[in-house]
Amino acid sequence: MTIASPAALGTPAPLDAMSQDLVALVGAQDPEVAQLMAQEADRQASTLELIASENHVTPAVMHAAGSWLTNKYAEGYPGKRYYGGCQFHDRIEDIARERAKKLFRCGFANVQPHCGANANIAVFMALLEPGDTVLSLPIKSGGHLSHGLKPNFSGTFYRIAEYGLDPQSELLDYDAIERIARECRPKMIICGYSAYPRIIDFARFRAIADGVGAFLMADIAHIAGLVATGVHPSPFPHAHVVTTTTHKTLRGPRGGLALSDDADIAAKIDRKVFPGSQGGPLMHIIAAKAIAFGEALRPEFTAYSRQVVANAKALAAALIARNYRLCTGGTDNHLMLVDLRQRSADLTGADAEKWLESAGIIVNKNGIPNDPRPPMVTSGLRLGTPALTSRGLKEPEMAQVAGWLDRVMGSKGDAAETARVRDEIRAFCAHFPMPH
Ligand code: DSN
């Protein structure tokens, strides 16, 4: 089998030289997988990535994640491993921990969770007993499955009480949350969401938690990069524990992170990550996390985070100008929820996602608050700007993106219009290379 190079696929090379070598090396042994890797590189380079939870990492982060560090078992923590040969891994994990603490301005960091949900498992195990009550926003209102969805560990082993959004404003209603907390007396309250476009008042959440003697957990998976750079207020010193993924606005490798300012809580979380819920840490990913945290500590990353939000506001304004309704009326962060019903009553998130993908715009359908349609259909789209901003798009290009979104959805995925938009986007992408 021959491997189509990205150039042969009609786009500028989306890969740095090392990645091209990698595809060639894999191809010499396994052309079937190498071909798919090359095709995926082309897909990423020639489409507009608007999934709010995705990003494009730098080559340094990417290659650390694909390095020989994957060969090592390092169960335990720096200085206390169950295997020999860990001296360099100890240093790498220490660097990752130190940089994470500096980035989020807190005292303790565990960089081993394989993903955000695993960080949350460790926190639940550290702070709660099975059957304890947790108060959280359900997934249908913008929460996360690991915050209490029934089939998830959280909904299986814990009693979940829910708060919602104000039905009119679609904003968090802190007075209502306080009332519900007083009624259900949770042992832990969770804030931090997957589809909430506004600023979270962590101080108010802590006051509510203190009022009922609950722990406050902030899951900042979506906004971590904005928090690290001061573009969104920090959950510290308010939250007892903070969890996050490292691959969204933070632009690191796919992974999780748990943070705290409390030595006792941090020690419990360490034990619940390992040996409580995980075995060997992914040391290649921890190295990539260390590199990404180093990048995020640089002033350029603050400029990047500000641009992410500026781009989101520009995209929101351009969509509103084209008669789309945005939940809450707009955005303060990197994402927005588009209620498609105002543009066209029969337009669904599922149809829009499919049509837009054909045009080279990658989005995810998303339920909007009180969505009458089921989760696999939905009346909304969630759009985010972290990945496009990593490619160098700015406000003027956001107006162009809104125009393409509207042409595809307005034509109801008409084949000819979709093909025209696809060609325009492929040509446009050539001017905004992947991070290299
Ligand atoms: N699946 C992620 C998201 O897209 O927001 C959350 O884990």
Distances (CA, A) of 428 to 31, 70, 347: 30, 37, 27
**Residue tagged active-site, from 254, 289, 313, 422:** 254
**Cα–Cα distance, 160 to 154 (Å, whole number):** 8
Q: Provide the greatest CA pair distance for the chain.
A: 65
What is the fold, at CATH topology level, of the domain defined by 68-296? Aspartate Aminotransferase; domain 2 (3.40.640)
Confidence class of residue 4 from pLDDT cuts 50, 70 and 90? Answer: very low
Task: Kindly state the percentage of the chain with pLDDT values over 70.
Answer: 97
For the chain, give every residue range classified as CATH 3.40.640.10: 68-296
Confidence class of residue 218 from pLDDT cuts 50, 70 and 90? Answer: very high
Ligand 1 centre distance from Cα of residue 192 (Å): 12
Ligand 1 centre distance from Cα of residue 329 (Å): 22
Rounded average pLDDT over 185-191:
98
Confidence class of residue 6 from pLDDT cuts 50, 70 and 90? Answer: very low
Stronger pLDDT, 261 or 17, i.e. the higher one: 261
Ligand 1 centre distance from Cα of residue 191 (Å): 15
Rounded average pLDDT over 213-230:
99
Residue bearing the CA closest to ligand 1, atom 5: 194
Q: Which of 200, 205, 201, 190 is nearest to 144 (CA)?
A: 190
Asked if 152 contacts 124 with a C-beta cutoff of 8 angstroms, the reply is no
For the chain, give every residue range classified as CATH 3.90.1150.10: 300-429
**Cα–Cα distance, 224 to 297 (Å, whole number):** 13
Query: For residue 222, which atom of ligand 1 is closest to its CA?
Result: 5
Reported as a single tens digit per residue, the pLDDT across 369-412 is: 999 999 999 999 999 999 999 999 999 999 999 999 999 999 99
Q: Is 343 annotated as catalytic?
A: no
pLDDT at residue 436 in the model: 85
List the alpha helices (DSSP H) in 250-348: 263-271, 283-296, 299-321
Q: Is 424 annotated as catalytic?
A: no
Q: Is the pLDDT of residue 13 over 60?
A: no
Tell me if 390 CB under 6 Å of ligand 1.
no
Residues paired with residue 260 on neighbouring β-strands, in sequence order: 108, 241
Q: Is 156 annotated as catalytic?
A: no
Confidence class of residue 8 from pLDDT cuts 50, 70 and 90? Answer: very low
Residue bearing the CA closest to ligand 1, atom 3: 53
Query: For residue 51, which atom of ligand 1 is closest to its CA?
Result: 4
Distances (CA, A) of 42 to 46, 55, 168, 300, 434: 6, 15, 43, 27, 10
Q: Is the pLDDT of residue 3 over 80?
A: no
Q: Is 40 annotated as catalytic?
A: no
Confidence class of residue 258 from pLDDT cuts 50, 70 and 90? Answer: very high
Ligand 1 centre distance from Cα of residue 227 (Å): 17
Reported as a single tens digit per residue, the pLDDT across 303-360 is: 999 999 999 999 999 999 999 999 999 999 999 999 999 999 999 999 999 999 999 9
Q: Which of 60, 6, 59, 10 is nearest to 34 (CA)?
A: 6
Q: Is the pLDDT of residue 9 over 80?
A: no
pLDDT at residue 14 in the model: 61
CA angle 120, 126, 130 (to 5 degrees): 85
**For 400, phi and psi rounded to 5 degrees?**
-65, -45
Ligand 1 centre distance from Cα of residue 72 (Å): 29
Q: Is the pLDDT of residue 120 over 50?
A: yes
As given in the structure block, the two tokens for residue 354 are 């499919």
pLDDT at residue 18 in the model: 82
Asked if 205 contacts 216 with a C-beta cutoff of 8 angstroms, the reply is yes
> Rounded to the nearest 10 degrees, what angle do helices 415-429 and 31-46 cross at?
90
Q: Is 162 annotated as catalytic?
A: no
Asked if 236 contacts 242 with a C-beta cutoff of 8 angstroms, the reply is yes
Residues paired with residue 217 on neighbouring β-strands, in sequence order: 190, 241
Instruction: Identify the three-state secondary structure at position 365.
Output: strand
Confidence class of residue 15 from pLDDT cuts 50, 70 and 90? Answer: confident
**Cα–Cα distance, 150 to 49 (Å, whole number):** 31
Asked if 156 contacts 142 with a C-beta cutoff of 8 angstroms, the reply is no
pLDDT at residue 12 in the model: 46
CB neighbours (10 Å) of residue 102? 15
Task: Give the lowest-confidence range in 16-30, 35-49, 72-86, 414-428.
Answer: 16-30
**For 131, phi and psi rounded to 5 degrees?**
95, -15
Amino acid found at 400: Q
Confidence class of residue 243 from pLDDT cuts 50, 70 and 90? Answer: very high
pLDDT at residue 1 in the model: 42
Non-local CB neighbours of 346 within 8 Å, separated by 6+ positions? none
What is the fold, at CATH topology level, of the domain defined by 300-429? Aspartate Aminotransferase, domain 1 (3.90.1150)
Q: Is 248 annotated as catalytic?
A: yes
Tell me if 194 CB under 6 Å of ligand 1.
yes
Query: For residue 54, which atom of ligand 1 is closest to its CA?
Result: 4
Instruction: Supply the mean pLDDT for the chain.
Output: 96
pLDDT at residue 16 in the model: 76
Length of the chain, in residues = 436
**Residue tagged active-site, from 43, 54, 72, 73:** 73
Reported as a single tens digit per residue, the pLDDT across 33-90 is: 999 999 999 999 999 999 999 999 999 999 999 999 999 999 999 999 999 999 999 9
Tell me if 53 CB under 6 Å of ligand 1.
yes
Distances (CA, A) of 65 to 259, 263, 288, 298, 414: 22, 30, 5, 21, 41
- Select from 49, 50, 53 the residue to mutate for testing ligand 1; criterion: most ligand atoms less than 8 Å from CB: 53
Ligand 1 centre distance from Cα of residue 88 (Å): 32
